[in-house]
Amino acid sequence: RDRARDIARNNPYGKKAKRVFADNFIGTGITPEPRATSDRLKKQIIEAWNEFAMNCDAEENLDFCGIEALVIRTIFESGECFVRFRDRPASEGLAVPFQLQVLEPDYLDSSRNIELANGYIRQGIEFDNSGRRRAYWMWPRHPGDTAYYRTPLQSTRIPADQILHVYEKERAGQIRG
């Protein structure tokens, strides 16, 4: 992962390959097409989408197209990406009280490997006995930033329905990208 990141970030050919890959993968991006029967409802849905798309980034830097591109660039560099769904209180004034937080795979506590009474944890991903994902054990901050903090990091359990784990599954039993 480190070598791939170095090439994609510091080599001009690697940078261009990453940009071309993301541009070709995303194209024009996701465009909603409401299936509502009334034109008024379709318009409301489109307006809500546009409002969400402009304010969807939990870090408040990107719009939805930027989030899409960031996810693809992260996959290009690291083989996988996590998107955390962040509910927001109504007091923040968002039309859609929900945002997305893009996380590098470094945020996953991959050292956590435990057998549980009703499941198991492998590489920071918690599964039930049937092999369904129940949770992800994530660091609250990037683990590379620990030099700036006095307290050691403690990974926390994030329910699987709050995490979108994006990677290409290439073999049976593969759990990470």
Q: What is the pLDDT along the chain (177 residues), one digit of tens a residue?
A: 888 888 888 889 888 988 888 888 888 888 889 999 999 999 999 999 999 999 999 999 999 999 999 999 999 999 999 999 999 999 999 989 999 999 999 999 999 999 999 999 999 999 999 999 999 999 998 888 766 667 778 999 999 999 999 999 999 999 999
CB-based contacts of 72, cutoff 8 Å, min separation 6: 21, 22, 25, 26
Measured N-to-C along each axis, helices 64-78 and 39-54 cross at an angle, to the nearest 10 degrees, of 50
Distance separating alpha carbons of residues 59 and 155, to the nearest angstrom: 20
3-state secondary structure of 168: coil
Per-residue pLDDT, 8: 81
pTM for the model: 0.87
Per-residue pLDDT, 146: 66
Per-residue pLDDT, 153: 85
CA 69 to each of CA 18, 23, 27, 124, 138: distance values in angstroms, whole numbers, following the listed order:
10, 8, 10, 25, 23
Per-residue pLDDT, 121: 98
Per-residue pLDDT, 72: 94
**How many CB atoms within 10 Å of residue 29?**
13
Distance separating alpha carbons of residues 18 and 20, to the nearest angstrom: 6
Per-residue pLDDT, 22: 86
Tokens of 141: 């901050």
Per-residue pLDDT, 84: 98
